[in-house]
Amino acid sequence: MTTRRSVLKASAAAAALSFPFISKAQSDKIKIGHLTPLTGFLGALGEYAVKGIRIATEEINAAGGVMGRQLEVMSEDSVNPATASIKAQRMLDQDKVEFLMGEINSASAKTIMQVAARNKRLFLQVGARSDVLRGADCNRYTFHVDIPVTVMVNAAGQALLRDGLIKGKRVFCLTSDYLFGHDLAKTAKAFIAANGGTVTGDELTETNIVASALNIDAAQSANAGAAASSVAPSTASFSARATSAWRDNPRALRAAQKRRHGARVTQATR
């Protein structure tokens, strides 16, 4: 909680100092537009984001606010990239927020970044991890807080390498079929190959369903010794633990996966 509170307070202060339109009415509240998924495959994470920012805002305001001004945060469901872009523009034009913050979905973060650049307003990007957002598509109005995909893969990969789970191993990759998943799979496969592992195949998994028996069949037929799962909340029930399960009792595993179809779980990446 201290980290989220510190980031929110520092961002509000930086915006107040850097953008004249924020400082013009010192008695007014600093209005912040927060966009995050509240429905769909990342909705569970978005709910936690809203709760965290609400708590941080209450603590900052109780301590006197930022430069004597109270914070007012409006949180909305970003839904998808197109809707996120429309809502970001509306927050700036109609709701008169001083700056934007969020997101979890990398594709939606990309469109909000475009709105920020077009309007020359700050976008505090706190949760989306795709490397694409830090490369050619980045802009001077976006400040990234969370780690990018490359850092995450290298950190996790070094731990797996240390434990003997990469070199000489056959790995099957399951990937969520959207921007972050594509980026993560690309980076993970490169790391595995560079460190003596063999990627036997990879499968794109829809973001709105639990991994199906087809995913399990594909991994089993590839004769992989490990499964690398980069899936979203609603598909995370299929993970590395499935490797031993399908070897012990593949029919039972398929049946269990079908019974869990549509269940929401909270393990997630972005």
Indicate whether 266 belongs to any domain: no
Closest CA to 243 of 223, 222, 226, 221: 226
Domain span at residue 17 reads 2-146
> Domain with 113 in it: what CATH number?
3.40.50.2300
Do 132 and 167 share a domain, yes or no?
A: no
- Does position 27 have pLDDT exceeding 70, yes or no? no
Q: Do residues 50 and 9 make contact, with C-beta atoms less than 8 angstroms apart?
A: no
- Structurally, how many domains does the chain consist of? 2
Q: What is the mean pLDDT of residues 172-180?
A: 84
Indicate whether 15 belongs to any domain: yes
Please give the helix or strand (H or E) that residue 125 lies within, else none. strand 123-125
The 10s digit of each residue's pLDDT in 84-113 is 999 999 999 999 999 999 999 999 999 999
Do 115 and 78 share a domain, yes or no?
A: yes
- Does position 55 have pLDDT exceeding 70, yes or no? yes
What pLDDT, on a 0 to 100 scale, did the predictor assign at position 81? 96
Residues 22, 25, 30, CA angle at the centre, nearest 5°?
50
